[in-house]
Amino acid sequence: MDFVWDSDSRDWKDPPADEMTKKMVGGVQNGSITLFHVGKKNTVQALPKIIVRLKDKGYRFKTVGEIIYYDNFNIDVQGRQHKK
């Protein structure tokens, strides 16, 4: 399992909310970790749409802490988990 984001909103570039929504909804796959930044102007408008559309596609949301295996695993420098 990888703990580096694989779905980057690129919200730091201030894309329009609709563009960000389309990119994120089209780029997410099972197990994706999405990246958003606090305080970016269009993220607030895009995020509710992204969440609704992903839920409509059957995706569920978890925090990183909920997907980390703690027992009998090590995490390497790339953020991947390996069984001990």
pLDDT tens, 22-76? 999 999 988 788 889 989 989 999 999 999 999 999 999 988 778 777 788 887 7
pTM: 0.75
Q: The domain spanning residue 40 has which CATH number? A: 3.20.20.370
Using the predicted structure, report yes or no on whether residue 1 has a pLDDT greater than 60: no
Residue 30 lies in a domain: yes
Residue 2 lies in a domain: no
The encoded tokens of residue 2 equal: 């990888």
Residues spanned by the domain of 34: 7-83
Residue 31 lies in a domain: yes
Pairing relation of β-strands 7-8 and 34-35?
Answer: parallel
Query: What's the total number of domains in the chain?
Result: 1
Contacts for 81 with CB less than 8 Å, ≥ 6 apart: 1, 3, 68, 69, 73, 74, 75
Residue 1 lies in a domain: no
Percentage of the chain lying above the pLDDT 90 cut? 49
Using the predicted structure, report yes or no on whether residue 2 has a pLDDT greater than 60: no
